[in-house]
Amino acid sequence: MLILSDIQSYYGAAHVLQGVSLNVGRGEIVGLLGRNGMGKTTTIRSIMNLRAPEVRSGEVSYNGTKLNGLPPHEIAKRRIALVPQGRRLFASLSVTEHLTMLKPPNTRHGWTLERAFQTFPRLAERRRHRGNQLSGGERQMLAVARALMLDPEVMLMDEPSEGLAPVMVQHLETVIAGLRSEGMGILLVEQNLYSALTLCDRIYLIETGRIAYHGSTANLRANPEILERYLGVH
């Protein structure tokens, strides 16, 4: 579904992504792991063609259509949703307003406000609270629910478990696994290695802007020296 081919991305003169290639298929969770500053978030931003970084060469394609050069809202219209690092909520908008501000695509089985609240019951309880009145876990739930209201076929998730309590992480893992079972493709950037190894079908390891390893999660589990080399995990 989603294919990156030899992506070269820059922040000004800084060459950050140096030939990143990866793919995400329908109904699979693909992990992108690496130490801080290796290019994980830059990869996500390059897919969505945000203002920075600048993708100077390579191709991002989705279902055979090239995405390079399209503005972010046009990419989102193609049912690619982003759960950004840091949540990026609107402080003055209520939970309900966050979930109803976007015009959903015309699909038969789209996400509704009711379904979002069923998936995240805590948001239903806090539906009138503003973004700046929510806890960290509630803000993360809202960021995921907001992305789901686009009824995406592919979801890009950047550090979704960051700062969450273990019980919140478990609930989020259950939601993500359920999305995969419905056929959604997910690119997961995650610092929580246990969560990534639990959820992902395949994993890419990135180091200094290059893909240093790609393989199944089972193969990665069987080779702890790879985890130690690229993630510093013993």
Degrees to nearest 5, angle at CA 152 with 60 and 27: 80
Does residue 231 sit within a domain? yes
Separation between Cα atoms, residue 54 and residue 138, nearest integer Å: 33
Q: Of 12-21, 68-77, 96-105, where does mean pLDDT reach its minimum?
A: 96-105
User: At 122, is the pLDDT very low, low, confident or very high (cuts 50, 70, 90)?
Assistant: very high
Does residue 46 sit within a domain? yes
Separation between Cα atoms, residue 48 and residue 72, nearest integer Å: 5
**Buried b / exposed e along 200-211 (16+ C-beta atoms within 10 A):** bbbbbbbeebeb
- Name the residue range of residue 37's domain: 1-79+187-234
Does residue 112 sit within a domain? no
Give the orientation angle of helix 136-148 with respect to helix 166-181, to 10 degrees.
Answer: 10
User: At 212, is the pLDDT very low, low, confident or very high (cuts 50, 70, 90)?
Assistant: very high
Does residue 39 sit within a domain? yes
User: At 224, is the pLDDT very low, low, confident or very high (cuts 50, 70, 90)?
Assistant: confident
Parallel, antiparallel, or unpaired for β 2-11 and 14-24? antiparallel
- Is the distance from CB of 96 to CB of 104 less than 8 angstroms? no
More confident residue, 104 or 72: 72
Helix locations, the chain, DSSP H: 40-48, 72-77, 95-100, 113-119, 121-125, 136-148, 166-181, 193-199, 217-221, 224-231
Separation between Cα atoms, residue 157 and residue 179, nearest integer Å: 12
Coil, helix or strand for 10? strand
Full strand arrangement of the beta sheet holding 14-24: 14-24, 2-11, 54-62, 65-66
Average pLDDT over residues 202-207: 96
Does residue 108 sit within a domain? no
Does residue 171 sit within a domain? no
Structure confidence by residue, pLDDT tens digits, 140-169: 999 999 999 999 999 999 999 888 889 989
Does residue 230 sit within a domain? yes
Which residues, listed in sequence order, are joined to residue 7 by a DSSP beta bridge? 20
Residue with tokens 């290059």: 210
Nearest to 63 by CA among 20, 151, 3: 3
Residue 44 is part of a domain; what is its CATH number? 3.40.50.300
pTM of the predicted model, to two decimals?
0.92
Does residue 6 sit within a domain? yes
User: At 137, is the pLDDT very low, low, confident or very high (cuts 50, 70, 90)?
Assistant: confident
What's the number of domains the chain is made of? 1
- Is the distance from CB of 83 to CB of 57 less than 8 angstroms? no
Average pLDDT over residues 130-146: 91
User: At 234, is the pLDDT very low, low, confident or very high (cuts 50, 70, 90)?
Assistant: low
Q: Of 67-71, 87-91, 96-100, 116-120, where does mean pLDDT reach its minimum?
A: 87-91
